[in-house]
Structure 1
Amino acid sequence: MHTGGSSGWALVALCAAAGAYCLLRMRGGTGEQRREAGGEALMGFGMAAMAVPPAVFSPPPWTWALYAAVFGAAGLRALWAARDRPHHLHHLVGAGAMVYMAVVMAGSPGPAQGHGHGGSGAAPLTGALLLYFAGYVLLGGARLVPVAAVPADGPAAGWTGRPELARACRLSMGIAMLAMLLTL
């Protein structure tokens, strides 16, 4: 979702940093943890790309279909994973929100594929997603505050194996999703 000026660049930096940290998390942990970190990295980098200010880069119209296809596939993967692990439903909602934003952007008028719903009638879905991510951010923030120092799994784990950093990463992506949805 294109945002303007310095707030757009702050959102790009936040999402790209979260994506990069998630890539680093893929180096350790179990197979399931690596897959989850990979999905979060995809989300972070995808959100960063969508947040680039339109004055810098106005993507061609086919880009929005590509976003919708990539995040639609990520949503299907999350749905498949959620059958055994319900916490993946959040990934399904996040991927669905990315597909939704791509579809809205594709249908928006203007050279930069501008903002707003126009007459699409999609505002109730935006409101529902805003409520979901606001709740997710509040709950994630509450879970983050009391986290005590957890010893790493040894010297090799380093800062990529720290659960509070992973929670902070998820929280920052939730806040970024809220910001992006507000620009619709």
Structure 2
Amino acid sequence: MGGPELVSWLVVGVCGGTGCYCLGRLRRLPPGGRQGRALEGAMGLAMALMAAGMAGGPAAPAGVLVAVSATTVLGAALPLGLRARHRAHHAVEGAGMLYMALAMGGAAGAHAAHGGPSGAAPAGVPVLSGALLVYCALYALRTAPRLVPAGTAQRGAGDVGLGAGEDEVAVACRLALTLGMVAMVLVM
């Protein structure tokens, strides 16, 4: 096992663990704070299923991945307890997952119809994949410094740290899922 297969299995572990953790914390949150964590949990588990299929493991049906991705996009549109920027991030990542599920499903079907292996050629539109990579990379670069404690020398003078009501675990979950998305797009 090496290369993309190993990366895919690492994404399965990180995203699956993050999804389970987010869903496990739901009952300890007030009702207004559950939407974001539920979206992150569903996204993490869907990403783990998608990455398992990319690694050669049991693949989830494309319809399930499309349904979860579409639900994430629609769920992010509801203004229940999430700031607009947080909702926009979930909508972009959900749309990215929807794009990957459709691209991988189409590539697998096309290669299977020609008798070739499902991973023989990259899937997706390079411009969309590139845009998703740029968004996720910029989000990670913007978010990661927020996890550095306020008193350390690495923080810049303009950094504001965590927003009101945000905890480090929620920010770390979003960062882990974003980095998982980067890995999946690169392996796709």
* CA pair 4-17 structure 1, distance change in 2 beyond 3 A: same
Q: Is the 8 A contact 1:75 1:92 kept in 2?
A: yes
Q: Is the 8 A contact 2:133 2:182 kept in 1?
A: yes
* CA pair 74-162 structure 1, distance change in 2 beyond 3 A: closer
Output aligned runs, 1:163-178, within 5 Å: 163-178=167-182
Output aligned runs, 1:59-78, within 5 Å: 59=60, 63-78=61-76
Q: Is the 8 A contact 2:70 2:98 kept in 1?
A: yes
* CA pair 5-75 structure 1, distance change in 2 beyond 3 A: same
Q: Which consecutive unaligned segments of at least 5 residues does structure 2 have?
A: 152-164
Asked whether 1:180 is paired with 2:184, we answer: yes
Greater RCO, CA 8 A, separation 6+: 1
CA distance in 2, matches of 1:95, 1:55: 23
Aligned counterpart, 1:139:
142
Q: Which moved more, 1:9-18 or 1:21-30?
A: 21-30
Aligned counterpart, 1:15:
15
Cα displacement (A) at 1:58 = 4.2
Output aligned runs, 1:80-159, within 5 Å: 80-81=78-79, 85-86=83-84, 87-108=86-107, 109-111=110-112, 113-114=118-119, 115-117=121-123, 122-146=125-149
Q: Which moved more, 1:40-49 or 1:50-59?
A: 50-59
CA distance in 1, matches of 2:68, 2:10: 24
Amino acid at match of 1:103: L
Amino acid at match of 2:140: V
Cα displacement (A) at 1:113 = 3.6
CA distance in 1, matches of 2:78, 2:59: 34
CA distance in 2, matches of 1:75, 1:167: 19
* CA pair 104-165 structure 1, distance change in 2 beyond 3 A: same
Q: Is the 8 A contact 1:65 1:106 kept in 2?
A: no
Cα displacement (A) at 1:170 = 1.3
Percent identity, aligned pairs only?
Answer: 35
CA distance in 2, matches of 1:55, 1:71: 21
Q: Which consecutive unaligned segments of at least 5 residues does structure 1 have?
A: 149-160
Aligned counterpart, 1:156:
none
Q: CA RMSD in A?
A: 2.6
TM-score (norm 1): 0.78
Secondary structure, aligned partner of 1:55: coil
Cα displacement (A) at 1:103 = 0.7
* CA pair 162-91 structure 1, distance change in 2 beyond 3 A: closer
TM-score (norm 2): 0.77
